[in-house]
Amino acid sequence: MMDLTGEAHSALIARLKREEGLRLFPYKDTVGITTIGYGRNLEYVGISKMEAEIMLENDIESVISELKKTYTFFKDLDEARKIVFIDMAFNMGIHGLSQFRHMIAAVAKGDYKLAAKEMLNSKWAAQVKNRANDLAYLMETGKL
């Protein structure tokens, strides 16, 4: 893959890191192109499928970590209901999920039918339609 020796490759990496600088959030470069990382041109290069898969796995792990910290009952949920929480937090962030107070209270009590009803009785459900219906079914039945 690389036409450079190990030493030359290392020198190139060090040079590009120094010249490009690391930016962990998207920014506009000197010619107005949306860029991230060490000069990755998001408008013309984007990311690879493999990079997207790695980002997805990292994001899922981050969401699970937040859910464990925020909801003590999360660890005791069956897999289907964990998936519901992970999916919702992934979609709207942990703060967005926290707005579902009645749903969360119902889950904490084990009333999954009420939790599903509360999920569907929301602005979010109207926005994501089938996703909400699918997740409410998972919540109510616990069936994957």
d(CA 97, CA 84): 11
d(CA 140, CA 143): 8
d(CA 24, CA 38): 9
- Domain with residues 49-141, CATH architecture: Orthogonal Bundle (1.10)
In the β-sheet with 34-37, what is the strand arrangement from edge to edge? 23-28, 34-37, 40-41
| Three-state SS at 25 | strand
pLDDT at 4: 85
Q: Which amino acid is at 20?
A: E
Name the β-bridge partners of 35. Answer: 27, 41
pLDDT at 5: 87
pLDDT at 3: 87
Angle at 106 (CA atoms; ends 103, 108), nearest 5 degrees: 110
Please state the domain extents for the chain. Answer: 6-41, 49-141
Q: Along the 144 residues of the chain, how does pLDDT read in single tens digits?
A: 568 888 999 999 999 999 999 999 999 999 999 999 999 999 999 999 999 999 999 999 999 999 999 999 999 999 999 999 999 999 999 999 999 999 999 999 999 999 999 999 999 999 999 999 999 999 999 999
